[in-house]
Structure 1
């Protein structure tokens, strides 16, 4: 073979190899990823569009991608999607856990806006893609990014008519809107035609979570707590120690607060399902929504856990929870000597300890039902002022341990902004739980000045409190139900809320209930809110 022929073949081989391995470069584009191939023969750039890699959950999808529509056609379809009228808003429900209905994964989940089901991914061979082909459903919403897509064509839908759906999934409040809730109220109309007051909506009882519902509903109406959690920026970047399981608790509680105060809901009730699941996980199954529980231990755990999470597991730091509910007291304790012995020695001297509290426990007198002539039973009654004498630094309360008896006096040294009173109605022993049905007579407003030292009361310009929430128990200890009386201060209206049932209530009816937990707002704070 001559030298000229050999050079000609080498040149042809180089051209073939150049065609097999074209030069590839990526041009930046905010909307559509583009791969540019340079043809070595024609020296022209050929643009070919491909699906985005971001939403693929199956690595094999990359091998199956094929060129799609042009950028101009994609943009036109994004703004003129022909499937928007197939969306069924009446069946959409974003209150449940955001996991794929098939794989049960919580990664890259999309909601089908036609049937309401959740599916993972949107690339070829993913569950959402398969659902769109088999069921002829085409509009999907990413539950994390809030972007909408049409499948299987896989283009983003840009349309203002989807904003109401996005707002139901993720309600956002401006600072002005948050502050306006203090003094203005709104009667809202849901998609199904029902009306509701903003902030007063029923909570679904999945099985036996009414004892959780009343606590959640009450806390959502405490002004500082409400305003803090309506602003997502206050808790979106919490840092916890590695391995902590508490992070979802704050996020789900914040979601619940925002949904409860959402003025654009599709229905007049919401489900606390995601919040309850977070409670089960974070409490290590101590509190379940399939078995009836006691609201007082749940309230104590929830307040402390929210504080723990908000402060990054540093208990001594301040949080909106402790700033709102925490008070201080001094406990004076002395040991009682055995019968016949004198109180001599160091062990019988009075000791004083300063401590903080999130709620005050009130002990009911252990009196049985009285009987009248004709054997008619009547229920005993006691004024709340009698129960509060426990904290006047005069009354000595007996406390027994397994080996000793102590007498304690409680002296309140700092009043909280919001005062929680827990009436101890249930007594549990080895065999059964007994309920004390005594009716507690209480006013809507009362003054705490007579229960604290004069030197302490001088620190406060106002020691008066107004009732904000009254949690009640009705029925037997094991088969009873919980409800709450809520005061919507902006409308000056009381409501009786029991799970999904919400009714207006006259103030004089509140004191007739078997009150269990009460939340009071300091009067000067209420006046500031109105101003």
Structure 2
């Protein structure tokens, strides 16, 4: 049964005279000044933390306005303003819900009396709305990874939290998980100051990452709804909600977009982390055919940066032994080692494309190497190469494999492995029906701590052994330099 508002006696009324009462309209900002008194209130025990969810857009549930929004701490609904004639004011009277928090200033008020309440018991709510991290917190964050339970007793792991899928956006979820586990980018987003002054994409992505790494969550999952909507709008529909898109294209777009938004002078934490350089030698096939001495044909040398190394899989065999047994089918799938695919960039292998012969030599390895396994032959992902890529998860000698001068002893460990599930589908003419997995085809293996691995598929998070990483079709890999 809802509590009735207590009628203050003369002493209580006298005390309220010293508090800042604000009858502001819904469009004003009532938080310019701060009250000086420490006030507690009997209504605090009506707060229901199980009803609170701050992952969604700050929008009034009645007027749909996004200005001066307050959250009811009893039912979790959002309302505009707190002065008389505002939706929050009427909600406090009609539903007898009296405790509200401003989602920008984090000040808590009791309505309809309109006085501010300050109590340490509210700090956990404020931390969930706007998690903040000091430099010291970030330095220790990988050392204090642990298992927690939300208010409903559901377990979750700090930094490895499931993301709610909005329609067909598993490709966005895996890229958010990827960026949240590239340490320099993650640390930058965790400690970024003046969020209100940042571009919308940076601000919303930062908030998702902050909540993923928050140690004391009310819920075991996160809805990246605001960040997803900003990606759709900013990309002008290139990445949408109605169908799955290529997560690698999204990753490259995100890295370039974030770089443009946060760069200082000519560089940014994004490019400093994932961008390397390679030298490209190019010959024209026609010139080589006309010259008897191929060695005498001069190459055009150019230097170009790269954000990822695209790995070409060998073509799928045309003829395989028919089999109805799943294990036999798996045995028929060709396999290739990661080191073999990397030979494309070792400075000695030549590649012929579009009448040109090119030779790639990596000259500068970044702190984090992104590898893109090119599994799809068409843009719409209708044809998939099922070749299995074999790789170790730690101490891969990229410097030696790529013959990088001065970096032959450099090794890397795998931190993220984005995979694709589902085999080659039939065309619509065949009447094929998408399975549940094919509607959400992308998931990620992410590493926590030294050697703890988790499989994250939208909301599903489960620990796995490192040996499980080879059983799925790797599509994007992120390697961290030791």
TM-score range, shorter chain: 0.7 to 0.9
Following superposition, the deviation at residue 177 of structure 1 comes to 1.5
Query: Following superposition of structure 1 onto structure 2, how do residues 376-391 of structure 1 map, counting pairs within 5 Å?
Result: 377=329, 378-391=332-345
Equivalent residue, structure 2, for 1:443: 392
Q: Give me the whole-angstrom Cα distance separating, in 1, the residues matched to 2:458 and 2:477.
A: 18
Query: Following superposition of structure 1 onto structure 2, how do residues 2-401 of structure 1 map, counting pairs within 5 Å?
Result: 51-52=21-22, 55-57=24-26, 79-233=39-193, 237-238=197-198, 247-311=199-263, 317-337=266-286, 349-368=298-317, 370-372=319-321, 377=329, 378-400=332-354
Contact in 1 for aligned 2:400/2:409 (Cα 8 Å): no
Contact in 2 for aligned 1:370/1:379 (Cα 8 Å): no
Q: How many equivalent residue pairs?
A: 441
User: In 2 relative to 1, CA 97–258 (structure 1 residues): closer, same or farther, beyond 3 Å?
Assistant: same
Contact in 1 for aligned 2:342/2:402 (Cα 8 Å): no
Q: Give me the whole-angstrom Cα distance separating, in 1, the residues matched to 2:366 and 2:399.
A: 13
1:236-276 CA distances to partner (integer Å, 9 max, x unpaired)? 655xxxxxxxx101111111111000001001111111111
Calculate the aligned-residue CA RMSD, in Å: 2.8
User: In 2 relative to 1, CA 183–159 (structure 1 residues): closer, same or farther, beyond 3 Å?
Assistant: closer
Structure 1, unaligned runs of 5 or more:
1-33, 35-46, 63-73, 239-246, 524-531
Following superposition, the deviation at residue 159 of structure 1 comes to 1.7
Q: For 2:415, which of 458, 468, 479 is the aligned residue?
A: 468
TM-score (norm. length: structure 1): 0.77
Q: Give me the whole-angstrom Cα distance separating, in 2, the residues matched to 1:303 and 1:282.
A: 14
Q: Give me the whole-angstrom Cα distance separating, in 2, the residues matched to 1:448 and 1:340.
A: 34
User: In 2 relative to 1, CA 122–319 (structure 1 residues): closer, same or farther, beyond 3 Å?
Assistant: same
Contact in 2 for aligned 1:426/1:477 (Cα 8 Å): no
Equivalent residue, structure 2, for 1:515: 474
Equivalent residue, structure 1, for 2:364: 414
Contact in 2 for aligned 1:208/1:290 (Cα 8 Å): yes
Following superposition, the deviation at residue 371 of structure 1 comes to 2.3
Q: Give me the whole-angstrom Cα distance separating, in 1, the residues matched to 2:172 and 2:58.
A: 21
User: In 2 relative to 1, CA 217–477 (structure 1 residues): closer, same or farther, beyond 3 Å?
Assistant: farther
Q: Give me the whole-angstrom Cα distance separating, in 2, the residues matched to 1:100 and 1:293.
A: 32
Secondary structure of the 1:483 match is: strand
Secondary structure of the 1:227 match is: helix
Within the alignment, does 1:500 sit opposite 2:455 as a pair? no
Contact in 2 for aligned 1:362/1:388 (Cα 8 Å): yes
Secondary structure of the 1:52 match is: coil
Equivalent residue, structure 2, for 1:41: none
Secondary structure of the 2:347 match is: coil
1:164-213 CA distances to partner (integer Å, 9 max, x unpaired)? 11110011122221101233322222111122221111111121111111
Larger Rg: 1
Equivalent residue, structure 1, for 2:13: none
Q: Give me the whole-angstrom Cα distance separating, in 1, the residues matched to 2:181 and 2:18.
A: 55
Following superposition, the deviation at residue 374 of structure 1 comes to 5.6
Q: Give me the whole-angstrom Cα distance separating, in 2, the residues matched to 1:236 and 1:343.
A: 65
Secondary structure of the 2:239 match is: coil
Equivalent residue, structure 1, for 2:4: none
Equivalent residue, structure 1, for 2:402: 452
User: In 2 relative to 1, CA 48–322 (structure 1 residues): closer, same or farther, beyond 3 Å?
Assistant: closer
Following superposition, the deviation at residue 48 of structure 1 comes to 10
Following superposition, the deviation at residue 501 of structure 1 comes to 0.7
Equivalent residue, structure 1, for 2:9: none
Following superposition, the deviation at residue 349 of structure 1 comes to 4.5
1:382-410 CA distances to partner (integer Å, 9 max, x unpaired)? 1111111110111111222xxxx111111
Q: Give me the whole-angstrom Cα distance separating, in 2, the residues matched to 1:101 and 1:157.
A: 24
Following superposition, the deviation at residue 340 of structure 1 comes to 7.4
Q: Give me the whole-angstrom Cα distance separating, in 1, the residues matched to 2:323 and 2:129.
A: 60
Following superposition, the deviation at residue 483 of structure 1 comes to 0.8
User: In 2 relative to 1, CA 357–249 (structure 1 residues): closer, same or farther, beyond 3 Å?
Assistant: same
Secondary structure of the 1:265 match is: coil
1:415-455 CA distances to partner (integer Å, 9 max, x unpaired)? 010111000011116x97211111111111311133334xx
Deviates more, 1:499-508 or 1:186-195: 186-195
Q: Give me the whole-angstrom Cα distance separating, in 1, the residues matched to 2:173 and 2:298.
A: 45
Contact in 1 for aligned 2:150/2:216 (Cα 8 Å): yes
